[in-house]
Structure 1
Amino acid sequence: MAKTGREKNTKNKSKHTKLMTRKKNKKKSEEALRKERLKVIIQKANSQSNND
Structure 2
Amino acid sequence: MAKSGAQKNTKNKAKHAKLMDRKKNKLRQEKENRKSKLKELTAKMKMKKED
Counterpart mapping for 1:2-17 below 5 A: 2-17=2-17
In 1, Cα distance between equivalents of 2:26 and 2:50: 36
Q: What is aligned with 2:30?
A: 30
Q: Matched residues, percent identical?
A: 51
Deviation, structure 1 residue 47: 0.8
What are the ranges of 5 or more consecutive residues in structure 2 without an aligned counterpart?
none
What are the ranges of 5 or more consecutive residues in structure 1 without an aligned counterpart?
none
RMSD after superposition: 1.1
Deviation, structure 1 residue 2: 4.6
Number of equivalent positions: 51
TM-score, with structure 2 as normaliser: 0.88
TM-score, with structure 1 as normaliser: 0.86
What is the letter of the counterpart of residue 14 of structure 1? Answer: A
